[in-house]
Structure 1
């Protein structure tokens, strides 16, 4: 998939506090005047914002001879924390953060129906009523993040299956970039490491007869859970990025990478269609070439997954050598023989 470099939003899209945080992140020490210049405010106003950041849990050292230094950033979601250093022009620029929420998808849908702009993102550290595909619940494992995004692609409803695959490729790149580990993509919407799920994707559609009104892209990330944080009934199927990487992951770094890689993939899709996304998905997939068992409604299909087509559907060669197309279903990867 071609790399599309997103443009950086101008200073008018960020608060002075966000600009101060971004400047602190870029330098080991920075003077009060340089912070004032970066934020577009007076030097006298800097101290007020430094105090506000300290109250939010940021540790900022001050030296009369050297200026200011950011020593520690708290591990919680905030618009200022996400925006500091974020290199997007669309995704996440309108951002809502919650410590706990019933469902990020519910809030995103409510905002979307009220006319919220494309790229609006809802983030939460905990969901009480999170959900996955086909009406299932999504367990909110501690120290993770739930994200829902509003997309308004100018395309027809039959293209909606492209978006979970687009999101999967972007998320795989974000995880590789921040965590240094290579996740596998299981069709249609899961990221696995060592055979266990770390990220789930849900795309919900609102459409008219010939055009998409909105796609609500929901993403659940298991980030910094340790083994004891994972419920016993999920221990055999779920893991976290921290467990797999062997170190704590900076959640804000990962959220920023997620938004940036998603925007790049989305822009590439708008310019070039599904072809490059399809090829990028194949690079990370762990589905093709495997024996699979697919539950699709009341039908069970078994065979070898051989390809995904231009619609994003899975092509399976059955034991009877019939080539069938599966547009939706739950895929179980059979153990390699």
Structure 2
């Protein structure tokens, strides 16, 4: 995190041409207020005023920090979460240079996408934390529906699909101290006003964008506003322990249920299975070839043709 924050300060000319040895001795926490101030400066494409206009949320998006370029909005959100920002604060960047998806996979984030993270201080049982990713997926799908996308689907656990291709990924990370979860960072990346050719060649297959879906650019600020509204609604359901309501909405949009998948688990363990459904704690329920049932809590499911 330290390296990323220093790079952000350099890009914004908040550090003079100090020698590397001097930079190493900097107390990065001393720059927390500067990082906040940078996030309140006007940016070219993403506009806080347009997002906040008529936004009635009481929690998510009440405080918004927008940057021209960061390594990762999740990284900046983690840093800010440790320096006094409120739960529900949102970090947005017009571009990310070193974003990651699940399992450390590269996530291309060029100019034109919607790249944001928000901070939560959830007061729930830790067993329910995997539900946060599913809930965020429902919010993204509903937001896409509201701007005119027909039948966006959710691929367990964290991808949003349009016509069988990925348009959005979600990365949920816990910030822990002494084995206690202090807060949760939820990162959302939506391929909005981009062409598939804007991505590295190795990431193009199986990817789509909203621009390609609609045949034109969409209003990114409006999409962010709608997304924050849907996140607020799903957050209220989560806080009220309405987990079954969230799962019902997830199941309606599931891209994974009813398909044959290859389940890839940690330590290179994998097997084929049929996806039956999703359990109340957010685990995928699959039937293995031998007929036994298993709950998949972590790992990856590759849809088989």
* TM over 0.5, shorter chain: yes
Deviation at 1:135, TM superposition (A): 1.8
Equivalents in 1 of 2:140, 2:80: separation in Å? Answer: 24
| Partner SS, residue 149 of structure 1 | strand
Larger radius of gyration: 1
Alignment of 1:211-290 (within 5 A): 212-290=181-259
Q: Counterparts of 2:164 and 2:111 in 1: how far apart (Å)? A: 20
Cα offset, 1:272, TM superposition: 3.3
TM-score, length of structure 2 as denominator length: 0.82
Where does the alignment leave 5 or more consecutive residues of structure 2 unmatched? 1-41
Alignment correspondent of 1:27: none
Question: Is it true that 1:326 corresponds to 2:290 in the alignment?
Answer: no
Deviations 1:180-224 (A, max 9, x none): 332110000000112211100000012468964211000111001
Q: Is the 8 A contact 1:133 1:202 kept in 2?
A: yes
The within-5 A match list for 1:1-337 is: 76-207=45-176, 212-297=181-266, 298-335=268-305
Contact 2:197/2:204 (<8 A) preserved: no
Is this contact kept in 1: 2:96–2:110, CA < 8 A?
no
Contact 1:154–1:211 (Cα < 8 Å) also in 2: no
3-state SS of 1:281 partner: helix
| Cα distance change, pair 99–181 in 1 and its aligned pair in 2 (3 A) | farther
CA displacement at 1:75 relative to structure 2: 7.1
CA RMSD of aligned residues (A): 1.8
Provide the C-alpha distance between the structure 1 equivalents of 2:133 and 2:201, rounded to a whole number of angstroms.
28
Q: Counterparts of 2:128 and 2:181 in 1: how far apart (Å)? A: 9
5+ unaligned residues in a row in structure 1: which ranges? 1-55, 57-73
Q: TM-score, normalised by structure 1?
A: 0.74
Report if the CA contact (8 A) 2:262-2:270 is conserved: yes
Deviation at 1:151, TM superposition (A): 0.7
